[in-house]
C-alpha cells in the first residue's frame, strides 16, 4: 500500500517535472522562441499573452514634450497563416513514416504520434488563419492607442490614411483584418460604424513583392543554388546530423529515414500546431532546446543568404521600397515645414517577411560582425540576425516622424513596437535622431540605390 503510494508520487513528480521541461506555466512550448518566421508575435512581446490590446506608451518617449507625431509608416507582415502546399507534402510524408516505418522497437512517442490526425491539406496553401485575422485586428487597435492623433477616425474620414497590400490572399486578408480592427474599435467607442469613409486599399506588388521583380536578384540568388551553398553545407554538418539522429531515436526508426526535410517538417508541425491552434503538440517532443537552436540556425542561415547580408543584391532588391518610404517622409516633413497639412498621415503597407528582411538589411539593422556560415553555429549564439526575434507573424517596422518645434523634425524607427537605433547614428541630445541626420546617413542610398535590371534582348535591339 505504502509502496504503491510512493510509486504514485514518483509518477506524478516525474511527469510534472517532465512537462515542466517542455512548456512554461501558460502551456507555451519552451522551444517556441526558436520558430523563426513561424513564431507567434506574442513570443516577442510576451505581455500580449495577458492582454492582446495592451500597449506600452513609455517606449515612445519623444525627445521633448512639445514633439508631435506628424506621420506614421507601418510596413507589416501578414498574420498567422497555414503552411504552404510544399510544406504540407513534407508533413504528410513525415506522418506516414511515423505510421508505417516502425522497426518493431517500441517508442512511446511514436505511439502518441500515430494517434495524431493529419489535418493539413495542400489546398490550405499559405492562407491566413483565424489567429492571423486576430493578429492584424489587435495590431490595428494597438497602433491607434500608440498614435491616437494619427490612427484616428478623423484622419481616416479625411482620407489621410492609405493602405497598400501585396496581391497574395494572406496579405489582402490581413489588410482587410487591419481595417476591420479599426472599424470595430470605433464602432465600440462611438456607438456607430464610421460611415462612408474612404477605406480602399491598393494592391502593389512592385513595392510589396519587389523580390519577384528584381531580375538580378532572381537570377543571382533566388534561382541559384550556389548562392545558398552554406545552407546545404550546414544541413550535412554535424549539428543537423545529430538532431536527425536524436529524432530517429525518439521515434524508434532508423536514422536514415529522417532526412533534413523530414526533420524540418517535424519542426514545422510543432510550430504550426502552436501558432494556428495554440496547442503544444507531441511533435514538439521530438526536439529539446539544443535541437531547436540548431533548427533555428538552419533557417536563419537561409534567410541570411537569401534575404539578408549574404549577398548585396538581396537588400538592393528593396531599393524601390526604400525610395517609396523616403519620398513619403520627405513630403510629410516639407508639408509640415511649410505649415501645410500632412497629406498622408498614416501609410499601412502589408507584405511578407521577404519584404521586410531586405529593407531592414538595406538600412543596416541586425548586422553582426561575422557572417552566418555553415561552420560558425557555436560562435553565433549571440547573433543579432535572429528571425525568431525579428520576423514573427504580424512583424511590423514602424517609422514615426515627429515635429519637435525648435527641436526640429525627428524620425524614430521601431520593430514590433520596440524602438530601434539607426546603426551608426547616435544623437547626443536625444534618442530620436533628426530626420535630416537620417537623410545624411543614407545619402548614398538616396542618390544611388536601385536594383540593376539586366539588359534584355529587346533592349539591345
Ligand atoms: C514599458 O517599457 C519600458 C521601457 O522599455 C519598460 O521599462 C517597462 O518595463 C515596460 N512596461 C511594461 C508593462 O511592459
Ligand atoms: C503509409 O501510411 C499512409 C498513411 O496511412 C498511407 O497512405 C500509405 O499508403 C502508407 N505507405 C506505405 C508505403 O505503406
Ligand atoms: C479572405 O478573404 C476572402 C474575401 O473576403 C474570403 O472569401 C476568405 O474566406 C478569406 N479567408 C480567410 C482565411 O479569412
Ligand atoms: C550563383 O551564385 C554564385 C555564388 O554566389 C555566384 O558566384 C554565381 O555567379 C551565381 N550565378 C549566377 C547565374 O548569377
Ligand atoms: C517507409 O516504408 C515504406 C514501405 O512501407 C518504404 O517504401 C519507404 O521507403 C520507407 N520510408 C523511408 C523514409 O525509408
Ligand atoms: C506642423 O507643424 C506645426 C508647427 O510646428 C504644428 O503646429 C502642426 O501641428 C504641424 N502640422 C500638422 C498637420 O501636423
Go through the chain and tell me how many residues it has: 461
Q: Indicate which ligand has the atom closest to the C-alpha of 340.
A: 6
Res 20: pLDDT = 39
- Decide whether any atom of ligand 2 lies within 6 Å of the 117 Cβ: no
CA of residue 47 to ligand 1 center, whole Å: 10
> Is there a contact between 378 and 103 (Cβ–Cβ < 8 Å)?
no
Res 459: pLDDT = 38
Res 58: pLDDT = 85
Is 352 a catalytic site residue?
no
Within a 10 A sphere around the Cβ of 339, how many other Cβ atoms? Answer: 6
Res 204: pLDDT = 98
- Decide whether any atom of ligand 2 lies within 6 Å of the 456 Cβ: no
- Decide whether any atom of ligand 5 lies within 6 Å of the 97 Cβ: yes
Please write the tens of the pLDDT for every residue from 45-92: 999 999 999 998 888 877 788 899 999 999 999 999 999 999 999 999
Distance CA 298, CA 383 (A): 13
Which residue out of 224, 230, 313, 316 has the highest number of ligand 4 atoms within 8 Å of its CB and is therefore the one to mutate?
224
Res 105: pLDDT = 66
Res 198: pLDDT = 57
- Decide whether any atom of ligand 6 lies within 6 Å of the 298 Cβ: no
Q: Indicate which ligand has the atom closest to the C-alpha of 134.
A: 3
Q: Which three cell numbers stand for residue 11?
A: 509518477
DSSP letter at 219 equals I
Interval 254-266 mean pLDDT:
93
Q: Would the pLDDT of 363 be above 80?
A: yes
Could you please report the per-residue DSSP string of 104-173?
Answer: S---HHHHHHHHS-----GGGTT-B-HHHHHHHHHHHHHHHHHSTTTSSHHHHHTT-EEEEE-SSHHHHH
Percent above pLDDT 90 for the chain? 77
What does the CA dihedral 389, 395, 397, 402 come to, rounded to 10 degrees? -100
Within a 10 A sphere around the Cβ of 446, how many other Cβ atoms? Answer: 15
> Is there a contact between 162 and 348 (Cβ–Cβ < 8 Å)?
yes
Distance CA 292, CA 302 (A): 16
Residue 287: which pLDDT band, with cuts at 50, 70 and 90? very high
Residue 14: which pLDDT band, with cuts at 50, 70 and 90? very low
Cβ-count burial of 21 within 10 angstroms (0-12 exposed, 13-18 middle, 19+ buried)? exposed
Report which ligand 1 atom has the smallest distance to the Cα of 419.
5
- Decide whether any atom of ligand 6 lies within 6 Å of the 70 Cβ: yes
Question: Where are the strands (E) in 352-453, listed by range?
Answer: 396-403, 409-415, 418-419
Residue nearest to atom 1 of ligand 3 (CA): 173
Please write the tens of the pLDDT for every residue from 412-444: 999 999 999 999 887 655 578 999 999 999 999
Q: Give Cα separations from 274 to 40, 52, 90, 365 (angstroms).
A: 8, 17, 18, 29
CATH topology of domain 60-82+126-211+317-368+389-461: Rossmann fold (3.40.50)
Interval 36-48 mean pLDDT:
97
Report which ligand 6 atom has the smallest distance to the Cα of 405.
5
> Is there a contact between 46 and 55 (Cβ–Cβ < 8 Å)?
no
Interval 369-380 mean pLDDT:
98
Residue nearest to atom 12 of ligand 3 (CA): 128
Sheet containing 202-203: give its strands across: 202-203, 161-165, 346-351, 68-77, 396-403, 409-415, 418-419
- Decide whether any atom of ligand 3 lies within 6 Å of the 173 Cβ: yes
User: Is beta strand 346-351 parallel, antiparallel or unpaired with respect to 161-165?
Assistant: parallel
Res 19: pLDDT = 42
- Global confidence as pTM: 0.91
CA of residue 91 to ligand 2 center, whole Å: 13
* Cβ contacts of 441 within 8 Å, gap of 6 or more: 422, 424, 425
Q: Which three cell numbers stand for residue 447?
A: 542618390
Q: Which three cell numbers stand for residue 61?
A: 518617449
Place of cell 534567410: 303
Residue 348: which pLDDT band, with cuts at 50, 70 and 90? very high
User: Phi and psi of 162, rounded to 5°?
Assistant: -120, 140
Q: Give Cα separations from 56 to 79, 143, 147, 461 (angstroms).
A: 21, 11, 12, 59
Residue nearest to atom 3 of ligand 3 (CA): 173
Please write the tens of the pLDDT for every residue from 124-170: 999 999 999 999 999 999 999 999 999 999 999 889 999 999 999 99
Q: Indicate which ligand has the atom closest to the C-alpha of 177.
A: 3
Res 197: pLDDT = 62
- Decide whether any atom of ligand 6 lies within 6 Å of the 295 Cβ: no
- Catalytic hit among 71, 78, 138, 389: 78
User: Is beta strand 202-203 parallel, antiparallel or unpaired with respect to 161-165?
Assistant: parallel
Please write the tens of the pLDDT for every residue from 226-241: 999 999 999 999 999 9
Q: Indicate which ligand has the atom closest to the C-alpha of 46.
A: 1
Q: Would the pLDDT of 37 be above 70?
A: yes
Strand, helix or coil for residue 60: coil
Interval 250-261 mean pLDDT:
90
Interval 3-26 mean pLDDT:
52
Place of cell 479625411: 158
Domain boundaries along the sequence of the chain: 27-52+85-125+215-310, 60-82+126-211+317-368+389-461
Q: Would the pLDDT of 263 be above 60?
A: yes
DSSP letter at 303 equals H
Percent above pLDDT 70 for the chain? 90
Please write the tens of the pLDDT for every residue from 240-253: 999 999 999 998 88
Res 455: pLDDT = 41
Interval 346-355 mean pLDDT:
98
User: Is beta strand 68-77 parallel, antiparallel or unpaired with respect to 346-351?
Assistant: parallel
Strand, helix or coil for residue 385: coil
Three-state secondary structure readout of 323-354: HHHHHHHHHHHHHHHCCCCCCCCEEEEEECHH
Amino acid at each position: 500500500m505504502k509502496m504503491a503510494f510512493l510509486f504514485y508520487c514518483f509518477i506524478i513528480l516525474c511527469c510534472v517535472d517532465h512537462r515542466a521541461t517542455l512548456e512554461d506555466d501558460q502551456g507555451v512550448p519552451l522551444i517556441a522562441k526558436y520558430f523563426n518566421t513561424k513564431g507567434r508575435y506574442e513570443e516577442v512581446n510576451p505581455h500580449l499573452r495577458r492582454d492582446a490590446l495592451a500597449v506600452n506608451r513609455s517606449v515612445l518617449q519623444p525627445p521633448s514634450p512639445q514633439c508631435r507625431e506628424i506621420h506614421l509608416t507601418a510596413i507589416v507582415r501578414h498574420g498567422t497563416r497555414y503552411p504552404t502546399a510544399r510544406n504540407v507534402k513534407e508533413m504528410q510524408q513525415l506522418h506516414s513514416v511515423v505510421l508505417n516505418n516502425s522497426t518493431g522497437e517500441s517508442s512511446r512517442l511514436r505511439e502518441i504520434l500515430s494517434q495524431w490526425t493529419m489535418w493539413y491539406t495542400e489546398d490550405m496553401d499559405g492562407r491566413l488563419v483565424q489567429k492571423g485575422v486576430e493578429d492584424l485586428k489587435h495590431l490595428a487597435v494597438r497602433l491607434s492607442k500608440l498614435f491616437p492623433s494619427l490612427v484616428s477616425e478623423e484622419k481616416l474620414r479625411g482620407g489621410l490614411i492609405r493602405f497598400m497590400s501585396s496581391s497574395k490572399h494572406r496579405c489582402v486578408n490581413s489588410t482587410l483584418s487591419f481595417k476591420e480592427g479599426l472599424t470595430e474599435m470605433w464602432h465600440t467607442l462611438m456607438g456607430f460604424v464610421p460611415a462612408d469613409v474612404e477605406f480602399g486599399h491598393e494592391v502593389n506588388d512592385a513595392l510589396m513583392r519587389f523580390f519577384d521583380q528584381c531580375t538580378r536578384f532572381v537570377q543571382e540568388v533566388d534561382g541559384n543554388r550556389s548562392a545558398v551553398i552554406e545552407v546545404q553545407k550546414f544541413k550535412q554538418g554535424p549539428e543537423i546530423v545529430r538532431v536527425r539522429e536524436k529524432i530517429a531515436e525518439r521515434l524508434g526508426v532508423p536514422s536514415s529515414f529522417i532526412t533534413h526535410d523530414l526533420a524540418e517538417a517535424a519542426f514545422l508541425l510543432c510550430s504550426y500546431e502552436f501558432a494556428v491552434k495554440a496547442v503544444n503538440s507531441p511533435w514538439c517532443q521530438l526536439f529539446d532546446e539544443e535541437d531547436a537552436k540548431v533548427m533555428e540556425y538552419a533557417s536563419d542561415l537561409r534567410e541570411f543568404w537569401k534575404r539578408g547580408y549574404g549577398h548585396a543584391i538581396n537588400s538592393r532588391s528593396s531599393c524601390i521600397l526604400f525610395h517609396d518610404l523616403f519620398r513619403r517622409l520627405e513630403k510629410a516633413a516639407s508639408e509640415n515645414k511649410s505649415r501645410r497639412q500632412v497629406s498622408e498621415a498614416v501609410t499601412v503597407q502589408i507584405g511578407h517577411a521577404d519584404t521586410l528582411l531586405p529593407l531592414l538589411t538595406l538600412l543596416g539593422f541586425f548586422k553582426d560582425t561575422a557572417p552566418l556560415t555553415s561552420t560558425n553555429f557555436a560562435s553565433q549564439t549571440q547573433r543579432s540576425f535572429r528571425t525568431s526575434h525579428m520576423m514573427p507573424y504580424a512583424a511590423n517596422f514602424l517609422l514615426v516622424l515627429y515635429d519637435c518645434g525648435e527641436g526640429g523634425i525627428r524620425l524614430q524607427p521601431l520593430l514590433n513596437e520596440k524602438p530601434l537605433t539607426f546603426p551608426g547614428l547616435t544623437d547626443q541630445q536625444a534618442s530620436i535622431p533628426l530626420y535630416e541626420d537620417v537623410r545624411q546617413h543614407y545619402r548614398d542610398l538616396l542618390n544611388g540605390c536601385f536594383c540593376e535590371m539586366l539588359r534584355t534582348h529587346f533592349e539591345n535591339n
